[in-house]
Structure 1
Amino acid sequence: MRINVLQHTPNEGPGTIQEWSQDRGHEMYVYHPYQFGNLPTADETDMLIILGGPMSPNDDLTWIKQERVLIQRLLDAHKPIFGACYGAQQIAKTLGYAVKKAPHKEVGWAPVYLKSDLISDIPQKLTALHWHEEMFEVPAQADLLFSSDLVKNQGFVMNGNVIGLQFHFEPTADNVREITVNDDQYPLDHNDLHQNGKEIIQHGVPAENKRVMYRLLDFIANS
């Protein structure tokens, strides 16, 4: 399987998604459309991973609109898609749903709660890394998958082959350090989780997050 990854900032890479791809014997190609403007075609994509980034789907940028054209083609072809943060928002916007300011800015570690039984072997409560202040509307054709204490719309699953998460299960400990040291001012401004960069790094990554990331990817890959 060819896994095509859309990465949107240098400090938010695929993390354990890449480990999953390697462990399952897939080939991964990472694109940086914000820098180079290149995107894969739908025909050469077996699974699409859309990572996070500091931009918004509402930004008037050509490559952001082109991403949604690709997403729509893959939705039409019923190919598996996973979106994290901005990536999940892009999926929702492609489907015609709003992306807007969340009621709370969440930056740091906080629990999320499972809201659907469509995917087995997922704990009812997990601790995830949040790094956002916008949120998606859950598409009508999707099921709410996760919520947090501050923001209801934290994840959705659709048609058995599409998952969008507003938060991050994919970072390793090294990834968390990379995200934080390069964006260390973001947690300090009106953060409703009240965590600073040092606290975010010291928290550590829960071991179960990698297992759950693998479970979600297996679910859509085998749809």
Structure 2
Amino acid sequence: MHVHLLQHDPHRGPARLADWLTSMGHSHTVFHLDAGELPPRLADGDALILLDGPEGPLDSDRLPWLKGERKLVARALDGHKPLLGIGFGARLIAEALGAVVARGTFAETGWHPVTLAAENGLDLPERFDAFMWHREVFSLPEEAVALGGSAASPLQGFAWDGGRVLGLLCHLEATAESVEALLAHVAPPEGSDASPHAQDAAAMLADPRRFDRLAPLLDRLLSQWLRSAAA
């Protein structure tokens, strides 16, 4: 398969996603929308991944490339393409499906346990630690299935159309290098200084094995996503 990845910030790239796609024999192209690149033609790829991006409202006046991406997401939803959104990308998909997207009660950064929802349909452990970096959240889109939640964000993700479309707030693709880049170049989500669910940089990077434990979770998630889409 050939997968298009849409990037919205120079310091929030594919991270482990690129390694997984290459290791599984899939090709991919990264489109840097924030740098002025145009979004791809949907017909030129087999699947679409929307990466994380800036916090705050989904405002096309603030983000001039957003209008074109919204059109691409709508076509992907209607055109039966596999579609995965992470962070900002998940919010964009949720919005396109009619869900409410808004600022959450607390910022959530660092490592937090995620508990899967009943009958979530994912081949993942019932409880696992994942990396977080967000304040914005979304409601469950109509006809979507909740995937699970954390203490700060009761809805961490959703599946739609039998798993062809996935949206995740948490970051299973994170690596130590991607988190170091985030910490060095991106301001923490609003309210992180007062949030009981925000960790400092030292805590985020204290145990490198945490990133290693994400790798099999990402593998299971992506394998199931592409299988569901091909079924």
TM bracket (short chain): over 0.9
**2:217 corresponds to:** 212
Q: In structure 2, which of residues 99, 102, 105 is the aligned counterpart of residue 103 of structure 1?
A: 105
**1:8 corresponds to:** 8
The answer to whether the Cα contact below 8 Å between 2:58 and 2:92 also exists between their aligned partners in 1 is no
Question: How many residue pairs were aligned?
Answer: 223
The alpha-carbon deviation at position 165 of structure 1 amounts to 0.5
**Identity of paired residues, percent?**
34
RMSD: 1.8
Cα distance change, pair 170–54 in 1 and its aligned pair in 2 (3 A): same
2:43 partner SS: coil
Cα distance change, pair 22–189 in 1 and its aligned pair in 2 (3 A): same
Cα distance change, pair 124–176 in 1 and its aligned pair in 2 (3 A): same
Gaps of 5+ in 1: none
**1:180 corresponds to:** 183
Tell me which amino acid in the other structure corresponds to 2:11. Answer: N
Tell me which amino acid in the other structure corresponds to 2:41. Answer: T
Cα distance change, pair 76–104 in 1 and its aligned pair in 2 (3 A): same
The answer to whether the Cα contact below 8 Å between 1:161 and 1:219 also exists between their aligned partners in 2 is no
Tell me which amino acid in the other structure corresponds to 1:17. Answer: L
Normalising to structure 1: TM-score of the pair? 0.92
**2:196 corresponds to:** 192
Whether 2:123 is the aligned partner of 1:121: answer yes
Gaps of 5+ in 2: none
Tell me which amino acid in the other structure corresponds to 2:115. Answer: Y
The answer to whether the Cα contact below 8 Å between 1:92 and 1:99 also exists between their aligned partners in 2 is yes
Whole-angstrom distance in 2 between the partners of 1:52 and 1:139: 19
The alpha-carbon deviation at position 158 of structure 1 amounts to 1.1
